[in-house]
Chain A
Amino acid sequence: MRLHYDQATEDFRAELRAWLEANRPQPEEMSREPSQSSAHLPPWARTWQRRLFDAGWLVPGWPPELGGRNATPVQQMVYFEEFAGSRLPRALNPQGLSIVTPSLIDFGSEEQKQRFALPSLRAEITWCLGMSEPGAGSDLAGLSTRAELADDGFVVNGQKVWTSGAQHADYCLCFVRTDPDAPKHKGISVLIVDMRSPGITIRPLPQLTDPKQADFNEVFFASVVVPRENLLGPLHGGWSIAGGSLAHERGMLWIDQASSLERTVGRFIELAAQALPDGRRLADNAVVRDQLAQLYIDAQALKFMGYHGFATFARQHVSPEHSVLKLFGTELERRLFLTMTEALGAAAIDVSTPTGRRARDEGPTAVRYLRSFAGTIAAGTSEIQRNIIAERVLGLPRR
């Protein structure tokens, strides 16, 4: 147990920090051409990711041919700390880098790795993830999009929803039912679907904060033909990919959230100590002081819980215990914005300040409160996380 890393680890940090400083995209180009969805890469983003790949800084735990440098788990943690601190985007197509590519590497044929995984790492193609459906949200195994094997490949019919970045993605890693007669976990396969295929209709679903901003989409498949060689892993064997695809370095993504929350709490504390335009000083209110102190402690605690979890159960992989970080972190983020919205009172209903699309760190407080539901709902709601903790960590019976 110790507070500080050894010199070799700090040398690794210094090397990364210097590299980031020398190679980072410039703020002007980033703000001139903002990314429009989680699968849209403006030219600067493609250049940036390619640079990370070539230098072995894209996925440091992987070997050099996959954009890494065989970094140790502790080095990987330092890597995420530095990225979080730099506030630079690491992956503009996060589902592509953190979910799809690892799945392709773990389950794909050599040909699929060359054709899909490497171009993803080099930012030549982007991905959406076809998991949720109108009838299969938390209960993913209940999905009903059908794929029937015909002479010229699979024929896909059905609908996906909450598909992030579908309107910009080149490909979809799509979970489909290939055996309707098997038990629901055993009849699922995974297909690589070209999003320009005939028969695909995409309807953006703007989020509650702005009718002009959509990351989510509905995706309709009408007799979409998918070549047989685009099957990932075994036929009817898709369920293990669903589980496996969520492993890997996602195990360290809490660092980014903890860092962001720490920053936001810090800014609210500064705000509370200053006089607002209406003359109030929020820190004069004992209730606000108490609540902000608790939020400060919780943002710190999230970080300690992450490091503690890293040391005791996870190293770089996702385990059921990560549900604790997901649950606590996302509920904390929501409580943070709720607390500040209520502290501001009626002043918070003026949301005329412009808001950025992906801006977790900017925008009016009340809007950020609404945006925080993305955390408590996406990737398994808080209620599902509680079930996972109870059943898979604590061993309570499923019923």
Chain B
Amino acid sequence: MDFAFSDEQTALRSSARAMLERHCSTAVVRDLVERGIAPEPLWARMVGLDWPALAITESAGGVGQGFIEVAVLVEELGRVIAPGPFLATVTQFAPLVRECGTPEQRDRFLRAVATGATGTLAISGPAGDWRPERAALTARPRPGGGWLLDGSVHHVLDGGAAEIAVVARLDAGSDGDGIAAFVVPRGAARSEPVQTLDLSRPVTTLRFESLTVPDERVLGTPGRCAAGVGRAVEEATVALALEMVGTCQRIFDTVLDYAKAREQFGVAIGSFQAIKHKFADMFVALERARATAYFAALTIAEDDERRTLAASMAKVAAGDCARLLAQEGIQTMGGIGYTWEHDMQLFAKRAKQGELLLGTSAQHRQRVAELIGLTADASTAVTAPVPA
């Protein structure tokens, strides 16, 4: 296993960091959080740099890079808690279309993404379950052609995206694996914005009442989509974990600077052992989350058989890290960490919201337990994959 980045990947990271430090200060984040101003210029800049096109094949108008390049970008975006449609478009919508769509659909929708069209993914119910078989919506064939969608789907990132990839369950008794995927345009479903903990990452609830989806927007074959949806969600989960790592690193850097500068009793508070040991534990949590997330990114990039397990492990480690860093980030700052005006609240909320989306640590530990053969009922144990 080799975790060394290539020179090109390192260059991508430094150019991304330079761009984001210049054009995505927390003033941009606060414009959205406090004034509802969408970060359009930032997104336009990303499109201009071909970021949405990065991992799309050249045949569909993309740059043809892999998931590690996406991972590097997402970690950098997390570092500046970038608002905007990148995460939903590139790590949720595009993978679902790629995994479930026909060649014609892949070309149609991904070519648009490569030139800046936005997209997102709608799958979970109110409890946030990310597994395809727990999809919140139901789909049934429409007499005379097309499909009908019903139900409410929650926690849709960037609900204002142009295209929404939707996962739905088919009626019991239907053929195949019972899972279907569709692409519906903005405005097709009733959209209800949610007032979120992290206002820099708004989410939407979408309500479908017998919405008709025409055949050309039915991805692949209904009842044959479970595996593709699973893979797309794994990719989205690993990307979110990487974004959380970036945000946690920002929390860590911020609070470390503070502990070195803030003096009490005549010394920097970072000289107190109680504070030092907190930092050591935070550093361990960060290293654990980052290494586990990049391992998972590698399993996605190389389509390794361990990817399902690795994605859940990455979300556990990122969630554990976010829980610790969001908490100690605020606590170690003392009173200033409790204020609206200090940016710590923005970072902590982003990390916390990431921890809760696409499955919490506890939910993913349960998934890991199933995958390694630990189940309450011995007869349902899955064979453990070969460990790395």
Contact = CB atoms under 8 A, between A and B. Distances in A.
Interface string A264-293: 001001001100000001011010011011
A2 B298 contact: yes
A202 interface: no
B318 to A, nearest CB: 11
B4 interface: yes
A266 B279 CA distance: 31
Given A297-B292, A307-B3, A390 B365 contact: no
14 contacts: A1-B2, A1-B68, A266-B387, A269-B374, A289-B376, A290-B369, A304-B1, A304-B292, A383-B277, A386-B280, A394-B256, A394-B280, A394-B283, A396-B276
A262 B267 CA distance: 43
Nearest to A388: B280
A323 B276 CA distance: 14
Interface in A1-29: 1-5
Interface string B309-347: 000010011000000000000000000000000000000
Contact of B316 (A3, A262, A294, A386): A294
Nearest to B71: A1
Given A290-B369, A308-B294, A273 B374 contact: yes
B2 A296 contact: no
Interface of A: 1-5, 74, 262, 266, 269, 272-273, 281, 283-284, 286, 289-290, 292-294, 296-298, 300-301, 303-305, 307-312, 323-324, 327-328, 383, 385-387, 389-391, 393-399
Interface stretch (B82-90, B162-170, B195-203, B299-307): B299-307
A397 B268 contact: yes
A310 B2 CA distance: 9
B374 A3 contact: no
B267 A397 contact: yes
A3 B372 contact: no
Contacts of B388: 3, 300, 303-304
Nearest to B283: A389
A305 B287 contact: yes
SS class of chain A's interface: helix, strand, loop or mixed? helix
A397 B294 CA distance: 31
The interface centre, meaning the residue of A281, A300, A310, A311 with most chain B CB atoms within 10 A of its CB, is A300
Contacts of B276: 386-387, 390-391, 396
B291 interface: yes
Contacts of B275: 396
A286 B372 contact: no
B219 interface: no
Given A293-B374, A394-B280, A396-B271, 6 more contacts: A266-B387, A281-B378, A290-B369, A390-B270, A390-B276, A396-B260
A273 B375 CA distance: 8
B284 A324 contact: yes
B287 A308 contact: yes
B313 A297 contact: yes
B290 to A, nearest CB: 7
Nearest to B256: A394
A393 B281 CA distance: 13
Contacts of B304: 3
Contact of A327 (B2, B280, B298): B280
B295 interface: yes
Given A1-B298, A324-B284, A301 B292 contact: yes
Nearest to A305: B291
A290 B48 CA distance: 45
Nearest to A290: B365
Contact of A286 (B260, B280, B376): B376
A294 B365 contact: yes
B27 interface: no
Contacts of B297: 1
Contacts of B280: 323, 327, 385-387, 389-390, 394
Given A281-B378, A284-B376, A1 B283 contact: no
B288 interface: yes
Interface in B241-278: 256, 259-260, 267-268, 270-271, 273, 275-277
Contacts of B366: 289-290, 293
A283 B375 contact: yes
B49 interface: no
Nearest to B2: A2
Contact of A297 (B9, B281, B302, B365): B365
A324 B283 contact: yes
A298 B368 CA distance: 12
A288 B388 CA distance: 23
Contacts of A328: 284, 287-288
Nearest to A298: B288
